A and B are shown apart, each in its own frame.
Chain A
Amino acid sequence: MIFEIVKKEIRVNLTSPKVVITYVVCVILILAALITGAMSYLSLKEEAVAQAAAEKDRLRNVFNYQMDFMLNGIYLYREPDVLSVLVSGVEGDAARRGRITFYTGSNFDVSKYNSTPILAIFGMLDLSFIVKVILSLFAILFTFDAISGEKEQGTLKLNFANRLKRGSYIVGKLIGNFILLLIPFVLPLILGLLIVEFTPGIDFSGDDWIRILLIALAFVLYLLVFYSMGMMVSALTKRPVVSFLILLMLWVFFTSVVPRVAVLTAQTLEPVPPLDEVRKEYFSEFGSSQEAFMNSVRGKVEELFESFRTAMNSPDGMRNMQQKQQEMLQGIQEAHDVFAREMSERGSQISREQEMKQDRQNQLAITLSRLTSPVAALDFAVDRLAKTGVYSSDEQFRDSVDDYVKSYTDYARDFLNKRPDLLSGGQGISMEKLDLSEVYPDRSFYVAEPLGESVEASIWDFAILALTAAVFLAVAVVAFLRYDVR
């Protein structure tokens, strides 16, 4: 019996103009999203590879050691993740370049939006956006009159004139319409993924396919939430107009109001001090450390002059002087070493503290918004799985760059130890080449989060989505069983 009803629901609705229009729109948008996603991924990747190559080239030809290598530092580039084809997440605002300098440690500057603001002006069209905004709206369009509409048309009464159980009727209706909603999502998605898979330059690994499957599952659960919400509201109201208004209100709240408010609340409850204050703290210490460094340098120079003067009067003065000069340079180098190490350690410590505060704020924002809005739950789940979210390959990249600071400074220090004159009178000019294999990390220096961890982190979102959908479905069934069909 249920099967009959499922078939009837699909047959009746499949030819309605509403369904046809939404199908066409879905196919076009999903294909367009995947193809543009693939193209922008390819161009970003190409760029990152080219940049890294150019940076290596620059380092190979470093001329002024102090300026080009220590002050200017080195630039590390992040390649985009292949799953950004489906879910762009916060990719547009994420750091694409990390910079390590000898004195300040690491910082991250270029984001896609800042260098290409056009993307920020319009926003990116990706699969996740289509599901989040468009398909959820379609889920509402498919369901708002499912029950109240049939009542208005009088067909609901007719149905129960036969010997039809309410329970099987509502279950059949739920299944049939949901299949109808999934078709325009699943079919173009498969087609689009096939196109993307056969695009040269894009390789999904086995892990990636599991991630894609999970992402698709999250999308389906999300649609189920809106679908069952629509059914529930439709079964609770008598007129389709009313159910539509309520659903639209809920949709606006879930998609655009609630998540924003949650983030704002988190910002108020767990404030993070602005960057300039952090900098202030850093530089106030920088000043005193620098002064200490300069004092010791001055002391060494005085010493040297003093010994010069005595050397002038002794027979082997010249030889002594050369030795003294060597000693002085060594001394300055050591003092500089202490100074730079202190500063870079303090810098990293300050940024670690800042990150921890930011982290607490993020966690609160995530908890608040995922609990209050299915959109947020979906966002966090798919961003995490696609490695394009707040905790993502960007984060991994930042961590890896931070870790790399040590090997960079060690190398720079060793280099200086060999050539102490680079710091003082020599104005940092070096004819000695840098050893690239030690200075510049290879492409695999940062690895994305392993699958297990992503799943573990997003499991809450799946649970929240599933639970919400289950509650809505249960209420919908109960409400229908008690529905006044007259």
Chain B
Amino acid sequence: MLRTLILKEIRDSVSTLKFVLTFMVVVVLVISGLVLGSKNYLEQRGEVNKQRQLNQKMLESQFDWLNAGWAGVIESKKPFVLSTVDNGIDNSLGRLAYVDTLNDARLDESRNLVSPILAVFGEVDLTFVVKIILSLFVILLTYDAVSGEKERGTLKLALANKIPRYQILLGKILGGFTVIAFSFILPLLFGLAFMMGFYNEVLADFNTDAWWRLLIIVAAYLLYLAVFFALGIFVSSLSHRSSTSFVVLLVIWVLFVTIIPRISLATSERIKPYESYTALQTKAYKEVSEKRAAVMDEFLPKFIQIRNRSMMQAFMGGGGQQEPTTEISEMMTDFWRQLGDVQREVMDYYDRQYERQQRSQIELAESMARFLSPTSAMSFAVQSLAGSGWARQREYIDQLRKFRIDFMNYVFEKAEAVEYHSMWDMMDKQKLDVDIGRVSFEFREETLGTVFSRAMIDMAVLALMSIVFFAASFVAFIRYDVR
């Protein structure tokens, strides 16, 4: 019996104009989303290597190793392959990593900063299709599931048979959700097939980890749609006119998708305000300059002494007949190393402080939003899994900081080892011998376990919401006045 009900439900929904139109729109959007994502991904991936070659050239042409350290390297942020699916907030986050011995490692120049036109409307990605288009489609499919059948009188007829009420609803739910899952998964498969044909390069970058993540992302999408589906059935079995249930659902949709996330941010900003990044940076800079001055005071007398001596040596020409030593290099390097350490200590302190404050605000806003809006919960889950959110950026910066220490060690090691006869030898420039492997930053993606545990709470919230709404709709339907 249940099978008949499910099949009937599927047949009914699939044969409507509404379905055909939406399905076509979804197919087009999913494919174009994946194509654009793939193009962006390939472009960004290419930039990483180009930037590295550039770095090598840049460093080689530097005057000496200390200068090379000041100039530093610029790394293009390595994209994660799932950025093809979800762009998250990545376009607003910095994507060029600056590493040098003078400044703290940082990620700057977001895509949107460089071309703000991108920021005006946002991007078309798979998440956008699910978040906006498919959730609306789910509402369109469910708002008259119960109240509409009542209006048309078919509900009374169905119940005239010897079928338990719960079975009718179960049939509706299973049938309806099959249609929805199908109208998302099929276009997704089309899209993946399309990628296989035209962007196989991208698919080749999918490792097992990435496939698992994609699978979980799809599960999050489906859970999200399930919440709206259950909500639609619930509201439909509470109201007696389909136009009422539609208006109610639409208002809820607007609240979930656009209002609640923004309001929870505004609220948490009020509850947990924090000092701005630039303000802290300025403070830190001030502290750095003070500490630096102390290092300078110690260094200057030594420096002047050596300079005078090496001047004399230069005047004497070859008369001194001294062996070249690394004395000058060591002194200079030590000085710059000390400056770097001072700077790192202070910056680390301020950065940790900033991060702590920021994290607590983000956590507050996120937990408010995720419990109040399935859209937020879904976005957070997908952003964690696709690496398009704040978490991967944070991890990236952490690793970048560690890399900066390696970079400084490498540069100073090299600088120290240079043998000078006198300070004037420093003018004698030779092409630096750069080991590109040691000045290139390799980002290690977080493990599947880490990202999954981050996304788990959001998935759980989504699952819980859909269970609650499903249960509520059963109760409402059992008590529904079908007349």
A244 within 8 A of B: yes
Q: In the complex, what residue of chain A is closest to B262 when comparing beta carbons?
A: A125
Alpha-carbon gap, A369 to B122, bound state (A): 13
In the complex with contacts A114-B110, A376-B121, A425-B307, A51-B282 CB distance below 8 A: yes
Alpha-carbon gap, A241 to B152, bound state (A): 14
Contacts of A430 in B (CB 8 A): none
B128 touches A390 (CB 8 A): no
- A51 CB contact (under 8 Å) in B124, B266, B279: B279
A161 within 8 A of B: no
A214 within 8 A of B: no
Docked complex: A29-67 residues within 8 A CB-CB of B: 29, 32, 36, 40, 43, 47, 50-51, 54-55, 57-58, 61, 63-64, 67
Docked complex: B386-424 residues within 8 A CB-CB of A: 389-390, 393, 423-424
Alpha-carbon gap, A277 to B43, bound state (A): 12
Alpha-carbon gap, A277 to B47, bound state (A): 9
In the complex with contacts A51-B278, A425-B307, A287-B61 CB distance below 8 A: yes
In the complex with contacts A51-B278, A51-B282, A141-B247, A93-B112 CB distance below 8 A: yes
A111 touches B247 (CB 8 A): no
Docked complex: A260-284 residues within 8 A CB-CB of B: 260-261, 263-264, 266, 272, 274-277, 279-280, 283-284
Taking the closest CB of chain B, its distance from the CB of A375, in whole angstroms, is 8
B307 touches A134 (CB 8 A): no
- A275 CB contact (under 8 Å) in B109, B265, B303: B109
Contact with B along A182-204 (1 / 0, CB 8 A): 00000000000000000000000
A245 touches B61 (CB 8 A): no
Taking the closest CB of chain B, its distance from the CB of A402, in whole angstroms, is 15
Taking the closest CB of chain A, its distance from the CB of B173, in whole angstroms, is 22
Q: In the complex, what residue of chain A is closest to B44 when comparing beta carbons?
A: A274
Docked complex: B367-390 residues within 8 A CB-CB of A: 369, 376, 379, 383, 389-390
Docked complex: B323-363 residues within 8 A CB-CB of A: 358, 361-362
Q: In the complex, what residue of chain A is closest to B299 when comparing beta carbons?
A: A427
B278 touches A110 (CB 8 A): yes
A389 touches B285 (CB 8 A): no
B112 touches A50 (CB 8 A): no
A120 within 8 A of B: yes
Contact with B along A84-105 (1 / 0, CB 8 A): 0000001011111100000000
Taking the closest CB of chain A, its distance from the CB of B381, in whole angstroms, is 13
Alpha-carbon gap, A49 to B276, bound state (A): 13
Taking the closest CB of chain A, its distance from the CB of B29, in whole angstroms, is 7
Contacts of A383 in B (CB 8 A): 120
B314 within 8 A of A: yes
Contact with A along B47-91 (1 / 0, CB 8 A): 100110010011001010000001000101000000000000100
Taking the closest CB of chain B, its distance from the CB of A273, in whole angstroms, is 11
Taking the closest CB of chain A, its distance from the CB of B137, in whole angstroms, is 10
B128 touches A122 (CB 8 A): no
A447 within 8 A of B: no
In the complex with contacts A90-B119, A249-B21, A361-B117, A286-B61 CB distance below 8 A: yes
Taking the closest CB of chain B, its distance from the CB of A365, in whole angstroms, is 5
A113 within 8 A of B: yes
Stretch at the interface among B215-223, B250-258, B441-449: B250-258
A263 touches B121 (CB 8 A): yes
B427 within 8 A of A: yes
B243 touches A240 (CB 8 A): yes
Stretch at the interface among A4-12, A291-299, A438-446, A463-471: A291-299
Q: How many residues of A contact B (CB 8 A)?
A: 105
- B369 CB contact (under 8 Å) in A122, A366, A376: A122
Contacts of B283 in A (CB 8 A): 54
B362 touches A134 (CB 8 A): no
A256 within 8 A of B: yes
B50 touches A277 (CB 8 A): yes
A283 touches B259 (CB 8 A): no
Alpha-carbon gap, A388 to B476, bound state (A): 49
B365 touches A58 (CB 8 A): no
B265 touches A252 (CB 8 A): no
In the complex with contacts A121-B390, A390-B116, A260-B92 CB distance below 8 A: no
B70 touches A263 (CB 8 A): no
- B277 CB contact (under 8 Å) in A116, A123, A256: A116
Alpha-carbon gap, A277 to B51, bound state (A): 8
B120 touches A379 (CB 8 A): yes
Alpha-carbon gap, A121 to B364, bound state (A): 13
Taking the closest CB of chain B, its distance from the CB of A370, in whole angstroms, is 11
In the complex with contacts A36-B266, A108-B113, A308-B314, A121-B94 CB distance below 8 A: no
Alpha-carbon gap, A321 to B316, bound state (A): 13
In the complex with contacts A51-B278, A54-B282, A294-B429, A308-B317 CB distance below 8 A: yes
A259 within 8 A of B: yes
Alpha-carbon gap, A199 to B337, bound state (A): 50
Which of B36, B109, B389 is most buried by chain A, counting CB atoms within 10 A of its CB?
A: B109
Q: In the complex, what residue of chain A is closest to B148 when comparing beta carbons?
A: A241
Alpha-carbon gap, A312 to B317, bound state (A): 11
Contacts of A90 in B (CB 8 A): 112, 116, 119-120
B121 touches A115 (CB 8 A): no
Which of B74, B116, B136 is most buried by chain A, counting CB atoms within 10 A of its CB?
A: B116
In the complex with contacts A93-B110, A240-B243, A287-B57, A71-B102 CB distance below 8 A: yes
Which of A61, A122, A308, A366 is most buried by chain B, counting CB atoms within 10 A of its CB?
A: A122
B113 touches A111 (CB 8 A): yes
Taking the closest CB of chain A, its distance from the CB of B352, in whole angstroms, is 16
B317 touches A94 (CB 8 A): no
Contacts of A51 in B (CB 8 A): 278-279, 282
Taking the closest CB of chain A, its distance from the CB of B52, in whole angstroms, is 10
In the complex with contacts A55-B282, A114-B110, A119-B265, A276-B117 CB distance below 8 A: no
- A122 CB contact (under 8 Å) in B109, B243, B261, B303: B261
- B92 CB contact (under 8 Å) in A93, A109, A256, A294: A93
Taking the closest CB of chain A, its distance from the CB of B392, in whole angstroms, is 11
A95 touches B250 (CB 8 A): no
> Beyond A257-B29, A305-B317, A390-B120: 12 further Cβ-contacts under 8 Å?
A58-B285, A90-B112, A93-B113, A97-B278, A110-B108, A113-B112, A115-B278, A122-B261, A123-B262, A259-B120, A264-B36, A366-B117
Interchain residue pairs A-B with the least CB separation, the first 4: A113-B92, A115-B277, A93-B112, A125-B262
**B residues in contact (CB < 8 Å) with A:** 18, 21, 29, 32, 36, 43, 47, 50-51, 54, 57-58, 61, 63, 70, 74, 76, 89, 92-94, 96, 102, 107-110, 112-124, 128, 132-133, 136, 140, 144, 242-243, 246-247, 250-251, 254, 258-259, 261-266, 269, 276-279, 282-283, 285-286, 289, 292-293, 296, 300, 303, 307, 314-315, 317, 358, 361-362, 365-366, 369, 376, 379, 383, 389-390, 393, 423-424, 427-429
**A residues in contact (CB < 8 Å) with B:** 18, 21, 25, 29, 32, 36, 40, 43, 47, 50-51, 54-55, 57-58, 61, 63-64, 67-68, 71-72, 77, 90, 92-97, 108-111, 113-125, 129, 133-134, 137, 141, 145, 240-241, 244-245, 248-249, 252, 256-257, 259-261, 263-264, 266, 272, 274-277, 279-280, 283-284, 286-287, 290-291, 294, 297-298, 301, 305, 308-309, 312, 321, 358, 361-362, 365-366, 369, 376, 379, 383, 389-390, 394, 425, 427, 429
27 A-B pairs, CB-CB below 8 angstroms?
A18-B247, A32-B263, A36-B269, A57-B286, A93-B92, A96-B278, A110-B278, A113-B110, A114-B94, A114-B113, A117-B92, A122-B262, A137-B250, A137-B254, A145-B243, A248-B250, A260-B122, A261-B124, A264-B36, A274-B43, A275-B96, A276-B50, A279-B74, A298-B429, A305-B314, A389-B120, A390-B117
